[in-house]
Amino acid sequence: MNMHPIILAIESSCDETSASVVSNGKVLNNIIASQAVHRKYGGVVPELASRAHQQNIVMVVQEALQSAGVKTAELDAIAFTRGPGLIGSLLVGVSFAKGLALAHQLPLIEVNHMEAHVLAHFIEDPVPSFPFLCLTVSGGHTQIVLVKDYFTMEVVGETQDDAVGEAFDKAAKIMDLPYPGGPLIDKYAQSGNPKAFKFPLTSMPGLDFSFSGIKTAFLYFLRDEMKKNPDFIKENLNDICASLQHSLITMLMTRFEQAREQFGIKDLAIAGGVSANSGLRNAVTEYGKRTGANVFIPKFEYCTDNAAMIAIAAHYKFLKKDFTTLEVVPLARMPIGG
């Protein structure tokens, strides 16, 4: 068995078609084709996402191999995201990976998308030490994960309804901003006053979260203000975004800090699309300075969906010979650490 494997990894769980080549644990590239088609719909349209994956996947994979200077004959395995995600989107990546593996007689490696978000921290130094706590925040998930080893992970807290990324995106949609709204709210928030407006902070038992209440409160708040002044959003966009973002981050940080105290862990990481948020990055950095915790924040390109994180996860799976069969099917739901 080659212990310096070269692996091609494919990610297609939602609305980014991505491919990456990892050689002996070093990620060589991270090619991403984003789908602009969803912008005007205020969210990802599953049917359109599958079609866009189908359109982009050959080009994305070819570009990853070419820019890495790797031929298919040199590959030792093909990796893909099995789930969680949209079934139609996942099917494109899974089927493409199977076809390549079959054609070139290569082993297949399945990767859990949420584990890969956590493992994005091992793409580049410095890396966290086990055990560490990871706050994984994306468009579909909000989890506090106790990471004991590469694939020994336990969700110790999670949202009971909406994901925090969904709260960002739905709030943006209410304000008529295009999808995905998270990055836009972040941008406007940077020149706003986070204390301008108050939104109710929902707290759940233990280390769990809930974001559906603040979304509804936000909707009613804007509806009432717009009755008084139809230009309310336009005139107060920065302050509205800053206040909403501040509330969402406060909810996240309260539970994350509580988890750190509960488990007495020194290394803290954030991952997933919302870890690109400048307010959250600042809040975690500040917390580290205040308490002496070691804080790990991924590079922007490894926060939102990407195949580099699938590639690094696949590398560690290859080392323990954890391969999958040609009968594998994608999973819309796929628990981590399973």
Task: Count the alpha carbons within 13 Å of 143 in the hemisphere toward its beta carbon.
Answer: 23
Q: Which residue has the tokens 């590239």?
A: 29
Is residue 93 near ligand KG4 by the rule CB under 6 A?
A: no
Residue (9 or 14) nearer to ligand KG4, CB = 14
How many Å apart are CA 308 and CA 190, to the nearest integer? 29
The SS3 of residue 137 is strand
Is residue 89 near Zn ion by the rule CB under 5 A?
A: no
- Residues 31 to 50 in contact with ligand KG4, rule: CB under 6 A: none
Is residue 23 near ligand KG4 by the rule CB under 6 A?
A: no
276 binds, among ligand KG4, Zn ion, none (CB under 5 to 8 A by kind): ligand KG4
Q: Which of 30, 35, 89, 138 binds Zn ion (CB under 5 A)?
A: 138
Minimum distance, C-beta of residue 203 to ligand KG4, in the bound complex (Å): 21
How many Å apart are CA 180 and CA 173, to the nearest integer? 9
Residue (18 or 23) nearer to ligand KG4, CB = 18
- Residues 161 to 220 in contact with ligand KG4, rule: CB under 6 A: 165, 168-169, 180-183, 186
The two structure tokens encoding residue 240:
């509205």
192 binds, among Zn ion, ligand KG4, none (CB under 5 to 8 A by kind): none
Is residue 277 near ligand KG4 by the rule CB under 6 A?
A: yes
Minimum distance, C-beta of residue 274 to ligand KG4, in the bound complex (Å): 4
Is residue 236 near Zn ion by the rule CB under 5 A?
A: no
Q: Which of 120, 305, 312, 334 binds ligand KG4 (CB under 6 A)?
A: 305
Residue (94 or 175) nearer to Zn ion, CB = 94
Residue (179 or 199) nearer to Zn ion, CB = 179
CB 68 within 8 A of CB 316: no
Is residue 11 near Zn ion by the rule CB under 5 A?
A: no
CA torsion sign for 172, 174, 176, 179 is positive
- What is the separation of C-alpha 258 from the centre of its chain, rounded to a whole number of angstroms? 22
Sheet containing strand 294-296, edge to edge, reads 152-158, 142-149, 132-137, 267-271, 294-296
Minimum distance, C-beta of residue 203 to Zn ion, in the bound complex (Å): 25
The two structure tokens encoding residue 208:
């769990």
Give the CA radius of gyration of the chain: 20
Letters for 297-316 (x = contact with Zn ion by CB under 5 A, - = none) are: --------x-----------
Cα–Cα nearest to 80, from 335, 317, 319, 314: 314
Minimum distance, C-beta of residue 92 to Zn ion, in the bound complex (Å): 16
For 123-211, where are the alpha helices, taking DSSP H only? 164-174, 182-189
Exposure string of 305-325, with b = 16+ CB inside 10 Å and e = fewer, is bbbbbbbbbbbbbbeeeeebe
Single out the segment in contact with ligand KG4 by CB under 6 A; choices: 75-83, 124-132, 226-234, 266-274: 266-274
Contacts of 60 (CB under 8 A, 6+ apart): 17, 18, 19, 31, 32, 33
Single out the segment in contact with ligand KG4 by CB under 6 A; choices: 54-62, 87-95, 223-231, 271-279: 271-279
Residue (128 or 272) nearer to Zn ion, CB = 272
Residue (172 or 259) nearer to ligand KG4, CB = 172
Interface residues toward Zn ion, by CB under 5 A = 138, 305
Q: Which residues bind ligand KG4 (CB under 6 A)?
A: 14, 138-140, 165, 168-169, 180-183, 186, 272-274, 276-277, 304-305
